[in-house]
Structure 1
């Protein structure tokens, strides 16, 4: 494991079993899951929340992954951004330009209207920990109530994930893509 925690994950068959579904294609455990395996309560919380986000029935993979990538980019959480690009971007149908645009200023890419709302939602939650009335009205026109709730679940959960990834100092796994840095500053400054 790479990051601020020292010491190996407990050599416990139950922990190994719990980590099995959370691995990169080459078999390495996902960095955040491996780090949180030091606390069974934290690992269980992450597993439940991840299942809820990835299984959100009203959201298609594209919408979910645009939200996740944008949240991670805004928070400067390259490790989680890279994991999601590696594991989910192709399934979500995201092209290279769209992937790169998740870390660019909001107006730097011609997002379709619904995707632009997802980007804006991730930005508002990141910046203000809430949703403006104007964005709520726009979301209400473009999404069902279930989609809005599930988007909020994804954005807030991955905001937490980004904070944990950064606080733990987790490094981007070898073989995963680098998150682009906007020309005008760090990923945390994009808008």
Structure 2
């Protein structure tokens, strides 16, 4: 699939190089998504505030919970790009097993690889994706596992990664060469 919006390549204008440097950890080459986003510098500047919050320790969700929300949201959106980057960079760090990665991509929260905590989190992501709300049957199970602050972070995190998925999919950002793809895990 050909990208609809080509990522910028070096040499970058100074203001683009500066923005890319703020989006990536020191010493790492900018990923295709960010090189695409810098085609709109004011929008890319806004990524710092939101992106850094959702990838920071300020988020009230644990790193594992955060990754489950991101991975399931991007999988449900069919976003090979963002799903693959997060699986490649974080799945091992947060202790996701191969069965869990496969379940995130193509399974269900009721798969036997999930704890009750993980399953209700994934159910919330699915509910938000499918209906843009949480029904009265799921709500009590969520508040038994998460604080109100954590739930608010969960809701906005899922929405943020819907937006990232929409942009990556619509612009047809090519997956990174080192990242897996959703189809890699089809049975």
Bucket of the pairwise TM-score, normalised by the shorter protein: 0.7 to 0.9
TM-score by length of 2: 0.87
Any idea what the Cα deviations from partners look like across 1:97-129, whole Å, max 9, x if unmatched? 211210123133431011111111111111111
Partner of 2:163: 160
> Which of 157, 172, 175 is 1:172 aligned to?
175
Preserved CA contact (<8 Å) 1:75 1:162: yes
Structure 2: gaps spanning 5 or more residues: none
In the alignment, structure 1 residue 115 sits paired with structure 2 residue 137: no
Instruction: Report how far residue 130 of structure 1 moved.
Output: 1.5
Structure 1: gaps spanning 5 or more residues: 184-191
TM-score by length of 1: 0.85
Preserved CA contact (<8 Å) 2:69 2:154: yes
In the alignment, structure 1 residue 3 sits paired with structure 2 residue 6: no
Q: Trace 1:1-191 onto structure 2 (pairs within 5 A).
A: 3-6=3-6, 8=8, 11-23=12-24, 27-55=28-56, 56-106=58-108, 107-180=110-183, 182=186
Preserved CA contact (<8 Å) 2:53 2:59: no
Instruction: Report how far residue 95 of structure 1 moved.
Output: 2.0
Structure 1 stretch displaced more, 45-54 or 71-80:
45-54
Instruction: Report how far residue 26 of structure 1 moved.
Output: 8.9
What is the Cα-based RMSD across aligned positions, in Å? 2.3
Aligned residues: 182
